[in-house]
Chain A
Amino acid sequence: MDDSIKISIRDLNVTTGKTRILKDINIDIPKNKITVILGPSGCGKTTLLKCLNRLTDLYPELKVNGQVMIDHTNVLEAGEDIYNLRQRMGLLSQRPYPLPMTIYNNIAYALKLRGIRGRRETHKLVMHYLQQANLWDEIRTRLREPASRLSIGQQQRLCLARGLAVNPEIILADEPTSALDPISSQAIEETFTRLKNDYTIVLVTHVLRQAKRIADNVVFMYLGDVIEQGTVEEVFGNPKMEKTKLYLGGTFN
């Protein structure tokens, strides 16, 4: 496998009952770039993302076949190693799900899973990750409050900080700004652009402008198929497929 490729998906099929959610997906996701998975609602973007860290395990009705290689490990055949593999991928979901504990402990919990136990080190890293997610200045005096008291935008940034705290190599983001106000959205996007030197970022979205703003690579999906993939210039500047042109032109959503 080419070293510039971080995630390589081969012949991935996901079915539920008789419905095929993903059909023979083949995607290469390059290292330290932002890859945007673009497509209308219901095209299988979220399911694809869940295959990457095998959250599909939580949905017994999903049958997953194929290969998802992260570096040289097949995630789908990882067995019990999945708990360690998941730590290599931070997840940011559509709406924030802080853990039912204090703001501080949300980050400290992630650090503990990573094996960091020392009090002073925990303290330092909690601050570090909250700063990385653009949240520290707003909440530095509220660290012992329950995370549920934060606004939605703050919660989402807390979730980003928590995702970074497990020290992942990859960030998976599933429409992370869809529930947020414009300012919080911008904060998240800026953080992503800043982080891409150190992380491989996979972002799922249906917002064309967001894709255009931050993507390096674009994968366009429609009804479970990958229609087109390439750099942002290729896909947005010179789309080859008819469906891509129609979607980019705003003909269907």
Chain B
Amino acid sequence: MKRGRNIEEKIFKLLMVISTYFILFVLAIIIYSIFEKGIRSISWEMLTEIPQGGYYYGRGGGILNAILGSLALAFGATVLAFVIGTPVALYLNVFLIRHKKVVSAIRFLLDLVWGIPSIVYGAFGFSLMVFFGLQTSLLAGILTVTLFILPIMIRSMDEIFSTVPIGLQEAAYSLGSNKSEIAFKIFTRQSISGIITAVLLSFGRGIGDAAAVLFTAGYTDHLPNGMLEPVATLPLSIFFQLSSPVPEVQNRAYASALVLTLIILVVSLFSRGLGKRYHKAKINF
């Protein structure tokens, strides 16, 4: 009996160890190959110039158009999704506390739309643009990506807000706070690190997605002059460079992927630092 349990313990532990290190190994290989191939082609020129004519066949220039385009698009969409998503998540957890069925219906719906592939959002955005007679533009891209990352933003914040202890809510209510004070002063402060994670997750999804922006933001080798002009994005830029028959250009695709990875890294580090400053006030239970 005792021996059987010990063997069981060893088998399960072995399974966990193998799975963990296997997946870490695979991820390490992906990051290594991006670095290894990317670092060779990355150059100052690539980061600071827009593509010259014939860039995709080996001529000079860079991907500044895609870097700036992606940053503008992802920041715009993240800010919009945050502004719309925070009230929704707070509403679910503070104002609908007596309507558990409504809350779970809304959560179910959000989980459902979370699972819809981004190309569908792209197609939806595109059909709206046709309806309104708009062309591919930064604005259309931002709106489509906002829609696409909203369920992610709302549900991740919702998960964090639902862990705010009922005792803390009771304490705040007993002081005479009303619901909006509880939402904006207590829930947000207690959940600051989770909110930052939600924003990061949404930003990462937004900046890395190609399908949602394919028809809506379009693509251009130039820098846009306004919200209503098409804009290049890093994922599409990677796609076009990889499609090139010239091996040198294909390597530039890896350099672009490296840039994309580094942007996400920098944003993560920055927001983590920001989170730490406020994290101290969180009450641990």
Q: A residues bordering B, Cβ < 8 Å?
A: 50, 53, 55, 57-58, 60, 83-84, 86-87, 89-91, 93-95, 97-102, 109-110, 113-114, 146-149, 159, 162-163, 166, 172
| Cα-based distance from A98 to B190 in the complex (angstroms) | 11
| Cα-based distance from A169 to B176 in the complex (angstroms) | 13
Chain A residues within an 8 Å CB radius of B181: 113
CB-defined A-B contacts under 8 Å, sample of 20 = A53-B174, A55-B173, A55-B174, A57-B97, A57-B98, A57-B173, A60-B98, A83-B177, A90-B174, A93-B167, A93-B171, A97-B165, A100-B283, A101-B281, A110-B175, A146-B281, A146-B282, A147-B283, A148-B282, A148-B283
Given A100-B190, A113-B176, residue A159 in contact with residue B283 (CB < 8 A): no
A34 to chain B, nearest CB (A): 19
Any A CB within 8 A of the CB of B99: yes
Residue in contact with B174 in the complex, picked from A84, A86, A149, CB distance below 8 Å: A86
Chain B residues within an 8 Å CB radius of A113: 175-177, 181
- Are A100 and B281 in touch, CB under 8 angstroms? yes
Residues 94-116 of chain B, each 1 if its beta carbon lies under 8 Å from chain A, else 0: 00011110000000000000000
Chain B residues within an 8 Å CB radius of A101: 189, 281
Given A60-B100, A109-B185, A148-B283, residue A166 in contact with residue B175 (CB < 8 A): yes
| Cα-based distance from A98 to B283 in the complex (angstroms) | 7
- Are B97 and A60 in touch, CB under 8 angstroms? yes
Chain A residues within an 8 Å CB radius of B175: 86-87, 109-110, 113, 162-163, 166
Chain B residues within an 8 Å CB radius of A58: 97, 166, 169-170, 173
Chain B residues within an 8 Å CB radius of A149: 280
Chain A residues within an 8 Å CB radius of B190: 100
Given A58-B97, A101-B281, A148-B282, residue A89 in contact with residue B189 (CB < 8 A): no
- Are B186 and A100 in touch, CB under 8 angstroms? yes
Residue in contact with B176 in the complex, picked from A55, A87, A97, CB distance below 8 Å: A87
Given A101-B189, A101-B281, A146-B281, residue A166 in contact with residue B171 (CB < 8 A): no
Q: How many pairs of A and B residues are in contact by the CB < 8 Å rule? A: 89
Any A CB within 8 A of the CB of B246: no
Chain A residues within an 8 Å CB radius of B6: none
| Cα-based distance from A162 to B177 in the complex (angstroms) | 13
- Are A102 and B171 in touch, CB under 8 angstroms? no
| Cα-based distance from A100 to B280 in the complex (angstroms) | 9
Residues 171-193 of chain B, each 1 if its beta carbon lies under 8 Å from chain A, else 0: 11111111001000110011000
| Cα-based distance from A47 to B283 in the complex (angstroms) | 25
Of A84, A95, A97, chain B has the most CB atoms within 10 Å of the CB of A97
Any A CB within 8 A of the CB of B20: no
| Cα-based distance from A137 to B176 in the complex (angstroms) | 28
- Are B172 and A99 in touch, CB under 8 angstroms? yes
B179 to chain A, nearest CB (A): 9
Any A CB within 8 A of the CB of B168: yes
Chain A residue with the shortest CB-CB distance to B189: A100
B1 to chain A, nearest CB (A): 37
Question: Which residues of B from 138 to 172 have beta carbons under 8 Å from A?
Answer: 165-172
| Cα-based distance from A86 to B178 in the complex (angstroms) | 10
Chain B residues within an 8 Å CB radius of A83: 176-178
Residue in contact with B281 in the complex, picked from A53, A95, A102, A109, CB distance below 8 Å: A102
Residue in contact with A99 in the complex, picked from B97, B186, B280, CB distance below 8 Å: B186
Q: Which 10 A-B pairs have the closest CB atoms?
A: A91-B174, A87-B176, A97-B171, A100-B189, A60-B98, A100-B190, A146-B281, A97-B168, A97-B167, A100-B281
- 11 A-B pairs besides A99-B283, A113-B175 with CB distance below 8 A are A58-B166, A58-B169, A60-B97, A83-B177, A91-B174, A97-B165, A97-B167, A113-B176, A114-B176, A148-B283, A149-B280
Any A CB within 8 A of the CB of B225: no
Residues 247-285 of chain B, each 1 if its beta carbon lies under 8 Å from chain A, else 0: 000000000000000000000000000000000111110
